[in-house]
Amino acid sequence: MTPRLPILWSFRRCPYAMRARLSLHAAGIAVEHREILLRDKPAAMLDASPKGTIPVLVLEDQVIDESLDIMLWALRQHDPEGWLHEERDALTLAGACDTRFKPHLDRYKYATRYADTDPQEHRAAAAEFVSELEDRLSRSPALGGAQAGLADYATFPFIRQYAHTDRDWFADQKWPSVQAWLDAHLKSVRFAEIMRKYPLWTPDADRPNGV
């Protein structure tokens, strides 16, 4: 009997899920892709991970429901491009993205969801993190040095979201290195592959799809 593929619960536009899909793609790991709507989470997903966030990777012997943990699991299986070459620094930078940048991004992009929130203040606060990336990228082609790795793929989905909130404003900022770095990732074959559309998963459509 053919072993069952790992199950990846995902939502196409979620930056956390993009992280997971990018790492699985780089590692060459096929999964059963289950696309969902965040407002209508299937019971099967919640059974696997009651915290109810995306992404969730279901393996035979464990469930991984943190995006960075999925990235690390995938790359520790197979890392042909050396994404883990600066693992400690990459995790520090990704952690800063999640704890310092993402809360401001949410209050900028989704200001109506938060009471008494000034989106411009949060855009400015988030810009401090982008400026740090600009400093790094002005000195090297990638965040971790000469080649793109974990740091780049863990952060760029969130910078994409920030840039797309007001594209004209973002384009006017003095971040030429970040803008070129982001554009290169967005135009990459890998990004096109992980952003292809899947039909919504339903319990009666349980069939494998490779990522």
DSSP run (H or E) holding 8: strand 7-10
Q: What's the pLDDT band for 97 if we cut at 50, 70, 90?
A: very high
Q: Which of 145, 6, 11 is closest to 77 using CA atoms? A: 6
Write down the pLDDT at residue 32: 97
What pLDDT is attached to residue 206?
Answer: 53
**15, 111, 121: which is closest to 71 by C-alpha?**
15
Question: What pLDDT score was predicted for residue 89?
Answer: 93
pLDDT of residue 175: 98
pTM exceeds cut of 0.85 = yes
Distance CA(136)–CA(34), nearest Å, equals 36
Residue 100: what pLDDT? 97
Enter the tokens of residue 110. 């989704």
Per residue in 40-51, pLDDT tens?
999 999 999 999
Q: Is 82 left (phi over 0), alpha (psi -120 to 50) or beta?
A: left
Tens of pLDDT along 51-87?
A: 999 999 999 999 999 999 999 999 999 999 999 998 9
| Residue 21 or residue 204, greater confidence | 21
Residue 210: pLDDT band with limits 50, 70, 90: very low
Q: What is the pLDDT of residue 156?
A: 97
Per-residue pLDDT of 109-165, as tens digits, reads: 999 999 999 999 999 999 999 999 999 999 999 999 999 999 999 999 999 999 999
pLDDT over 90 (residue 2): no
What percentage of the chain has pLDDT greater than the value 70?
96
- Give residue-wise pLDDT tens across range 173-195: 999 999 999 999 999 999 999 99
